[in-house]
Structure 1
Amino acid sequence: MLRLQLLTWDVKDTLLRLRLPVGESYSAAARSRGLEVSPRAVEAAFRQAHRERSRRFPNYGRARGMGCEAWWLGLVRDTFRRCGLAREEDAGLLAALAEQLYRDYSRAESWEPLPGAPETLRRLREMGLPMAAVSNFDRRLAELLRGCGLRGHFSWVLNAEEAGFAKPDPRIFLEALRLSGAEPGLAAHVGDDYEHDYRAARQAGMHAFLLAGTGPPPSGVPREHLLESLSQLPGRVGKA
């Protein structure tokens, strides 16, 4: 059993997931305002827009003084423009859609815990293991975790917008270690993404566990570092 002073958690697709895919929720919001856009087209446009906006304005535009709300409103507008809503007369409609979706995704009702997440967190907390959330989410994260009933399991929450670094930059993990006072060799991170969670945490000197997906695991990840389900985790860790 690995003895730890700190266990950090990724959030999206490790502890929480969207109740509906982005394409479906964006398409439904557009439909409520009289627009027909296919979920598949919206999903593809969203991925392109998100990739481009993350490149141009990393960490929710923090360095530009933008902040998460302006960042997301711009992303939603860009997504629908890529779906053909690029006329000048569409501007007002796009602004209303963006505000509606920003509000929707701020509510706990748009999210749900992954199977086993609440029970696993409860068991680990009962073991006395200090835990924190370390996520590429924006400043809404703590309130979202509270609304989903998970905030109380964490000593603190670190999001990329406020940290100034986003995974896979290992500096976000170094900041987590600084906040906790834990030694890297006595800390571990849990996440579902090899590059952003597993590899980045290990670059910061931490241990790491990778939540297995549906495909084959990345080469070089020891079997004992793979989790087929979150319920396996309490048996692998303990308080130092």
Structure 2
Amino acid sequence: MQEGMRGIFQMELMKQLLFSRMLEYAVKMAVVSNFDNRLRKLLKDLNVLILFDAVIISSEVGYEKPDSRIFQAALDQVNVEASKALHIGDDEKADKLGANDVGIDCWLSESICYLNLCYQPLLSLLRIGIGGSDLQL
């Protein structure tokens, strides 16, 4: 199988696994991004928009990470308390400090690896609603 096709196939498998785990654990997910309105189309074109309960884009809400209001907007849209949220990002200041300012724990990652493929986080994901359960892939 060509390398490009293998990557597409593996990404599809990853999306299916994530989606099934989200349903199993009733996990709410939101995108919190310092991007512009092209992001929704990009997510739709990648067939991942349906995975998210909310998409919060800095150009739409009027403030960027690390401003705590963008994280609060995500919490408000999915109706989850900060203490039950986890933000996954790649920037110490924008992601960790911003999320922590509203009481959200944050995991920093330079890349997301699955099935021997590594993806630089284009988006910061706010994974919400896990409660006391561990989400394992």
TM-score, reference length from structure 1: 0.40
Residue correspondence of structure 1 range 180-195 to structure 2 within 5 A: 180-195=78-93
Partner Cα separation in structure 2 for residue 238 and residue 167 of structure 1: 21
The amino acid across from 1:201 in the alignment is A
Q: In the alignment, which residue of structure 1 is the partner of 2:39? A: 141
Partner Cα separation in structure 2 for residue 139 and residue 238 of structure 1: 26
Please state how far the C-alpha of 1:238 moved relative to its aligned partner: 7.1
Per-residue Cα deviation, 1:77-110 (whole angstroms, up to 9, x for no partner): xxxxxxxxxxxxxxxxxxxxxxxxxxxxxxxxxx
Q: In the alignment, which residue of structure 2 is the partner of 1:78? A: none
Please state how far the C-alpha of 1:158 moved relative to its aligned partner: 0.8
Is 1:153 the counterpart of 2:51? The answer is yes
The amino acid across from 1:131 in the alignment is M
Do 2:53 and 2:78's aligned partners in 1 also have CA atoms closer than 8 Å? no
Partner Cα separation in structure 2 for residue 230 and residue 202 of structure 1: 26
Partner Cα separation in structure 2 for residue 205 and residue 156 of structure 1: 19
Percent sequence identity over aligned pairs:
32
Do 2:33 and 2:57's aligned partners in 1 also have CA atoms closer than 8 Å? yes
Name the CA shift for 1:179/1:126 in 2 (closer, same or farther; >3 Å): closer
Is 1:229 the counterpart of 2:127? The answer is no
Rg bigger for which structure?
1
Figure out how many residues of one structure are paired with residues of the other and give that number: 109
Gaps of 5+ in 1: 1-111, 214-227, 232-236
Residue correspondence of structure 1 range 1-240 to structure 2 within 5 A: 118=15, 121-127=18-24, 128-212=26-110, 229=113, 239-240=130-131
TM-score, reference length from structure 2: 0.67
Gaps of 5+ in 2: 1-7, 116-127, 132-137
- Structure with greater helix percent: 1
Name the CA shift for 1:159/1:238 in 2 (closer, same or farther; >3 Å): closer
Do 2:68 and 2:99's aligned partners in 1 also have CA atoms closer than 8 Å? yes
Please state how far the C-alpha of 1:118 moved relative to its aligned partner: 2.7
- Structure with greater strand percent: 2
